[in-house]
Structure 1
Amino acid sequence: MTIETLPKALLHIASTQPERVALRRKEFGIWRDITWAEYLRKVKYTALGLHALGLSYGEHVSIIGENRPEWLYSALGAVCAGGAWVGIYTTNPAPECEYVVTHSDAVFYICEDEEQLDKALVFREKTPKLRRLIVWEMEGLKHFQDPMLMSFAQLLELGEATDKAQPELFQQLIEQVKPQDTAGIIYTSGTTGPPKGAMLSHENYLWVGQAARQVMYTTRDDETISFLPLNHVYEQIFDIMFHLTVGHTVNFTESTDTVMADMRDVSPTVFHAVPRIWEKYYSAIVLKMADATWIKRTLYNMAIKIGTQYNNKALAKQSIPVHLTLAYHLFYFVVFRKLKKRLGFDRIRFGGSGAAPISHEILKFFQSIGIPIREGYGMTETTGVTHMSDERNFKVGTVGRALPETEVRIAEDGEIVVRHKGIFKGYYKDPEKTAEVLNDGWLHTGDVGEIDDEGYLKLTDRKKDLIITAGGKNIAPQFLENLLKFSPYINDAVVIGDRRKYLTAIIVIDEENVTKYAQDQKVQFTTFATMTKAPEIVDLIQQEVDKVNRQVARVENIRKFRILDKKLYTEDGEVTPTMKVKRKSINEQYKDLIESMYAA
């Protein structure tokens, strides 16, 4: 069997290792194993159930729910039936869900629970193509009657009955699927306008999984943990692309609130996260050690000093003195080994960071304590990856080298342009936007960067985000923002200054860490908002800004800042679901606050 589609990839792995654990889900504190044989059976019944309900070749199925096995059953069931899945963020309000369902022409709406079903009930009258509402968890809906509604359990029962009546049908459905068919439509976060539906084919998914595996070598014995949104391409790299290429085990957390505890349970060998997660881990370690006993704090500080010296030489590929090597391994055994175990990182072989730029200082910190994080680069339109580093060959400050069989060039204006077999088919129902970014197979990424002599790609910033000051200086705001976010007291930062005389910043403090600081320093406050205005807190953030200013050129100094009296929320249109700041929205919503920093 030639493995050229996702259904055939699933069939192949399930037939070669039917009794190995494919998925693991934590429910009510207990981990439940799901074998590859059971995984395939659930996907088969889902596909046959959807087919029996009338899903035709090429039609679309929308899915909204937290990460769990049913998400993958639904997605792969849709493609096995000849259709495509369309993921929706669980945080999307009803109008945004309506937009995705309507624009994608989805005929089925598969959702997690009553909360997500309620959204569809709001807009279903305005989406005439929508034929069925299917729910995974029926709690609270047992007595709710509606001709469009059915439970996921009923869908599986329908699929099983169809399989008994037509045992050859599943194979026939799979055979009709072609490599160029759309497998998934991923709606981009929409930082500059309405979300666009990027169409990714079976060939895109499989090629990226196989190409990336040549760089980040993984085996079926690896374990990952799934908690980032599954409708985002970054999570799909590990839960679909790698999973159906390698056959490792994917562990689903009980909820987004239990990730750290579940990490200790699973102790994955491969862990991937967005920069915000790595920043939170870093802050937790730093503040925890600040409260530790004198002896623990002293040992930790000595260990960090030795670890930094050791890894600075390793990163520079310099010869490491014997005494430094011995000291590092001693402190690793005494300090870092226990720290990693407490975090659930004791088995970690590869840590990945993606979806947004990460502070180089964060990478160096984790490298020093023995947790290797490799930053990759890609976007939805490249099926997630164009560049990445392996465990041994990497450079801090770069996003790695191009995947095998990938062409990369830098345009005259510095824009990164790429071409490989993972480049998307285009935006659904939007040939004009497709033509803007896709030309003869070359994708214009919208990012600015440079390639060094060894082929490593260094990112500067988003092309549209570069700041040109009134003095004509070009400044990359993300670099400064990452330096600011290295502070355990700063959760987010937005640097401003385009066509202005100097740079300013809007800062969002880390509520947990700053609250602890305020309590320790006896700072008087009643609410989060009043805490952000306390002079002692303003002074604290000023000290953190001053630290950054000392690291950069004078023209890059942040002269003024304002602390927001709230967090940034996706619901308010301030950040994307992967926590990337929507600059245009921030500039519009906080126009008066920004202008106050430039008042005479």
Structure 2
Amino acid sequence: MSTIPLLFMRSADRFGTQPALTEPVADNQTVTLTYQELREQVQQFAGYLQQQNVQKGQRIMIWSPSCSNWLVAYFGSLLVGLVVVPLDVNTRQDFLQRLIEITEAKFLITSHKNYTSLQSQSLPFIDIDALPMASLNTAQLPTIEENDLAELVFTSGTTGQPKGVMLSHQNIVSNAIASVEAVKITSRDRLLSILPLSHMFEMTIEIALLYAGASVVYARSLSPDTLFKLLSTQAITCMVLVPQALQLFMNGVEREVRRKKIEKQWALLHKVAARLPFSLRHYLFSTVHKRFGGHFSFFVSGGAYLPPSLGEAWERMGFRILQGYGTTECSPVISVTPRHDHNIASVGQALPGVEVRIGDDNEVEVRGPNVALGYWNNPEATAAAFRNGWYVTGDLGYLDKQHNLYLKGRKKNLIVLANGMNVYPEDIENVLQQQSQVKDAVVLGLSDKDQGAVVHAVLSLENANQAKAAVQAANRILASHQQIKGFTVWPDEDFPRTHTLKVKRQDVQKTLLELQASN
């Protein structure tokens, strides 16, 4: 199974009348495409592209929220040999225009509203809400090879030179198939999709689900009421999300606990559950499982650091949390925790066929068929990150005797104190996040002319007056070299975040320095 079109066509043959994609279209209404119907639409869209005389290797952009037509456009484009450039729906126009120039894209697939909002409409427009269709001439389809480029995924923001990760068909297919094997996805699974398909974590897992004959349900809205309604009506078994989304779900559950004024009973249930086998815990939290539809099996959390306390809270309620770790350059999954392993501290073991080693300075390095071809037209960046077949991730970590991988944080975030001691910001952030007063925290190393780098915490709080107490409580837990020397209360409701809800640390640091300069 060497290319994405071959994988998709194989699944369409095997699972023809089974549901593939479902999405809400109106109140209490959904539309479902079977595998066979999805294939027909893919081929008809490919037929339209064929009529536009597209050439193998040309680039086509998709700028839209996730929906069924997103995958129709994706598979149809790959079928005629195009390279897909996925863009987050919140991509700024100036950045989009830069990528059009860098990639020399031939078409832009987006909504009519998005297209008319562009100041410069330099690309032919294809309406994702009404994809054009035509008959496909299969005899004129190009031959797609496993090492042909499938996607160009840009990982940087609007500053500096954007880096386009070149992912081949083999990169993505191998990662999808290995993910099915590692996570044990079956045709009975139904995924509620809330992450953007422009993010490789969501894209690869959806391809994995389709390979296994499973179904994907798209959520047109991320409001809690909409999500819980889909969970209960669509027999959802799994979700792929980031830790921040897991926290939002937990906040919703705990709000309901407070509304019913059963905080003491809730705490007692958690205390009892911690002593029970995992298989029995769902009986204690049957009301929560009912809210999730009664069919829910597991979350896959990835894209950012999962605070152990959050993962453990879900596991006490009988919800399995699988941690995935990866990078776009690895298509993206590197490792995942097995279903039977409840070690929340680890990000699991390498996928089948993927090798992980710890290199110089404790940096995680990866080799395997999922590792990208390099960066688009950027030989310097490629040479720096891809060395003798190994991708150097920039993450710090270690392996235990069972080959479980543990992460310590990003190498670029590491704080080196004047005495040479290393401080991992993520360790301190985890302790701060355990304080009831703290909504979220970012720890940075600030330069002090007398002391060198010092540990500084930026806190998001409901009540700013609780900042000092939260820092003092954290310092009582932290080691001597981890002590927080200063803190700042974040002035806004929340930190600036990426489309996958990761905090934009550089933006936080920039604002912090501006605040300090103005005082």
State the alpha-carbon separation in 1 of the partners of residues 238 and 88 from structure 2.
Answer: 24
Would the aligned equivalents of 2:153 and 2:328 in 1 still touch at CA under 8 Å? yes
Q: What letter is aligned with 1:461?
A: G
Would the aligned equivalents of 1:469 and 1:498 in 2 still touch at CA under 8 Å? no
For residue 376 of structure 1, report the CA deviation from its aligned partner.
1.4
Q: List alignment gaps of at least 5 residues for structure 2.
A: none
Would the aligned equivalents of 1:228 and 1:235 in 2 still touch at CA under 8 Å? yes
State the alpha-carbon separation in 2 of the partners of residues 461 and 508 from structure 1.
Answer: 21
Tell whether 2:438 aligns with 1:505: no
Tell whether 2:127 aligns with 1:135: yes
Aligned residue number for residue 199 of structure 2: 232
Q: Specify whether residues 369 and 594 from structure 1 end up closer, same or farther in structure 2 by C-alpha distance, changes over 3 A only.
A: farther
Q: Aligned with 1:480: secondary structure? A: helix
Q: Specify whether residues 250 and 417 from structure 1 end up closer, same or farther in structure 2 by C-alpha distance, changes over 3 A only.
A: same
For residue 36 of structure 1, report the CA deviation from its aligned partner.
0.7
Q: Specify whether residues 65 and 442 from structure 1 end up closer, same or farther in structure 2 by C-alpha distance, changes over 3 A only.
A: same
State the alpha-carbon separation in 2 of the partners of residues 57 and 412 from structure 1.
Answer: 40
For residue 488 of structure 1, report the CA deviation from its aligned partner.
6.4
State the alpha-carbon separation in 2 of the partners of residues 106 and 226 from structure 1.
Answer: 27
For residue 17 of structure 1, report the CA deviation from its aligned partner.
1.9
Tell whether 2:146 aligns with 1:179: yes
For residue 503 of structure 1, report the CA deviation from its aligned partner.
2.1
Tell whether 2:285 aligns with 1:336: yes
For residue 472 of structure 1, report the CA deviation from its aligned partner.
2.8
For residue 496 of structure 1, report the CA deviation from its aligned partner.
1.9
Tell whether 2:71 aligns with 1:122: no
State the alpha-carbon separation in 1 of the partners of residues 162 and 500 from structure 2.
Answer: 14
For residue 360 of structure 1, report the CA deviation from its aligned partner.
0.7
Aligned residue number for residue 417 of structure 1: 365
Would the aligned equivalents of 1:449 and 1:460 in 2 still touch at CA under 8 Å? yes
Q: Specify whether residues 98 and 490 from structure 1 end up closer, same or farther in structure 2 by C-alpha distance, changes over 3 A only.
A: farther
Q: Specify whether residues 482 and 283 from structure 1 end up closer, same or farther in structure 2 by C-alpha distance, changes over 3 A only.
A: farther
What percentage of residue pairs aligned between the two structures are identical? 26
Question: Which segment drifts farther, 370-379 or 465-474?
Answer: 465-474
Q: Aligned with 2:30: secondary structure? A: strand
Aligned residue number for residue 50 of structure 2: 51
> Quick one: which of 266, 269, 288 aligns to 1:303?
269
Deviations 1:456-515 (A, max 9, x none): 111011111101123332111122223334456544322122444442212234xxxx4x
1:155-166 matches, cutoff 5 A: 155-156=132-133, 159=134, 162-163=135-136
State the alpha-carbon separation in 2 of the partners of residues 85 and 207 from structure 1.
Answer: 18
Q: Aligned with 2:275: secondary structure? A: helix
Would the aligned equivalents of 1:505 and 1:560 in 2 still touch at CA under 8 Å? yes
Q: Specify whether residues 483 and 379 from structure 1 end up closer, same or farther in structure 2 by C-alpha distance, changes over 3 A only.
A: same
Hey, which of these two has a bigger chunk of strand by percent?
A: 2
Would the aligned equivalents of 2:107 and 2:125 in 1 still touch at CA under 8 Å? yes
Would the aligned equivalents of 1:185 and 1:200 in 2 still touch at CA under 8 Å? yes
> Quick one: which of 184, 205, 222 aligns to 2:172?
205
> Quick one: which of 568, 579, 587 aligns to 2:501?
579
Tell whether 2:492 aligns with 1:566: yes
Would the aligned equivalents of 2:303 and 2:500 in 1 still touch at CA under 8 Å? yes
Tell whether 2:245 aligns with 1:277: yes
Would the aligned equivalents of 1:191 and 1:584 in 2 still touch at CA under 8 Å? no
For residue 267 of structure 1, report the CA deviation from its aligned partner.
4.0
For residue 57 of structure 1, report the CA deviation from its aligned partner.
0.7
Tell whether 2:378 aligns with 1:381: no
Deviations 1:272-310 (A, max 9, x none): 1101101112233334323323xx333322111111234
Would the aligned equivalents of 2:441 and 2:459 in 1 still touch at CA under 8 Å? yes
Deviations 1:13-63 (A, max 9, x none): 111221110000111121221111110011111111012112211111100
1:306-317 matches, cutoff 5 A: 306-310=272-276
Q: Aligned with 1:101: secondary structure? A: helix
Question: Which segment drifts farther, 437-446 or 299-308?
Answer: 299-308
- The number of equivalent residue pairs is 512
Would the aligned equivalents of 1:4 and 1:203 in 2 still touch at CA under 8 Å? yes
Aligned residue number for residue 312 of structure 2: 364
State the alpha-carbon separation in 2 of the partners of residues 345 and 445 from structure 1.
Answer: 38
Q: What letter is aligned with 2:2?
A: E
Under a length normalisation based on structure 1, what TM-score does the superposition of the two structures give?
Answer: 0.81
Q: What letter is aligned with 1:341?
A: K
Q: Specify whether residues 71 and 218 from structure 1 end up closer, same or farther in structure 2 by C-alpha distance, changes over 3 A only.
A: same
Q: Specify whether residues 497 and 291 from structure 1 end up closer, same or farther in structure 2 by C-alpha distance, changes over 3 A only.
A: same
Would the aligned equivalents of 1:189 and 1:576 in 2 still touch at CA under 8 Å? no
For residue 578 of structure 1, report the CA deviation from its aligned partner.
1.8
1:473-492 matches, cutoff 5 A: 473-486=421-434, 490-492=438-440
Q: Specify whether residues 565 and 496 from structure 1 end up closer, same or farther in structure 2 by C-alpha distance, changes over 3 A only.
A: same
Tell whether 2:341 aligns with 1:393: yes
Would the aligned equivalents of 1:378 and 1:384 in 2 still touch at CA under 8 Å? yes
Q: Aligned with 2:171: secondary structure? A: helix
Q: What letter is aligned with 1:365?
A: A
For residue 394 of structure 1, report the CA deviation from its aligned partner.
4.5
Q: What letter is aligned with 1:99?
A: R
Larger Cα-atom Rg: 1
Q: What letter is aligned with 2:512?
A: Y
Q: What letter is aligned with 1:261?
A: K
Q: List alignment gaps of at least 5 residues for structure 1.
A: 138-151, 164-168, 315-327, 515-536
Q: Aligned with 2:369: secondary structure? A: coil
Aligned residue number for residue 9 of structure 2: 11
Aligned residue number for residue 320 of structure 1: none
Q: Specify whether residues 286 and 549 from structure 1 end up closer, same or farther in structure 2 by C-alpha distance, changes over 3 A only.
A: farther
1:12-31 matches, cutoff 5 A: 12-29=10-27, 30-31=29-30
Q: What letter is aligned with 2:43?
A: K
State the alpha-carbon separation in 2 of the partners of residues 565 and 99 from structure 1.
Answer: 32
Q: Aligned with 2:162: secondary structure? A: coil
Would the aligned equivalents of 2:349 and 2:403 in 1 still touch at CA under 8 Å? yes
Q: Aligned with 1:309: secondary structure? A: coil
